Amino acid sequence: MTVLLYDRLGGYDAIAVFANKLISAAQADDLLGRFWSHRSEDRNARDMQLLIDYLVHETGGQMYYTGRDMRLAHAGMGINEADWQRFLEIVSQIAQALQIPAPEGAEVTAFLDTLKPEIVNVDAEPSTVLIGERH
């Protein structure tokens, strides 16, 4: 029987710790911190909960994700390749600190790779298509 990635990562609490460390590190980072400037604590707390819900849901846990999809949630922020690489470095540092085993770490990385085209949007085409331009 296949054990869910959710369970292999340690379930809800472990994923919540991971998400907290990830957001704290990204917010404190010289390069990435700009994406969270001028945001209220409440807004940040809500986003944190959405990230936890999303990760629980995507790894197979029992959570109904009520947030926006990744393309919509990050559209227009101008997240570029350097931001993405920095984000991956932070993820890998946290995975090491939390002693996430290599196979699970690799699954998380593979999952993040699938999200990259939805999140890195600095060169993205405008998302609005005028009526009549659809083919």
- The residues binding ligand HEM (CB under 6 A) are 32, 35-36, 47, 50-51, 54, 67-68, 73-74, 79, 83-84, 87, 112, 115, 119
**Largest CA-CA distance found in the chain, in angstroms, rounded:** 53
CB 94 within 8 Å of CB 55: no
CB of 85 to ligand HEM, least distance (A): 9
CB of 92 to ligand HEM, least distance (A): 13
> 76 or 101, CB closer to ligand HEM?
76
> 63 or 115, CB closer to ligand HEM?
115
Cβ-proximal residue to ligand HEM, closest one: 67
For tokens 């931001």, name the residue: 83
> 12 or 36, CB closer to ligand HEM?
36
CB of 3 to ligand HEM, least distance (A): 21
- The DSSP code sequence of 100-131 is --HHHHHHHHHHHHHHHHHH--TTPPPS---T
Rounded to whole angstroms, how far apart are CA atoms 109 and 27?
20
119: phi > 0 → left, psi -120 to 50 → alpha, else beta; which? Answer: alpha
> 6 or 87, CB closer to ligand HEM?
87
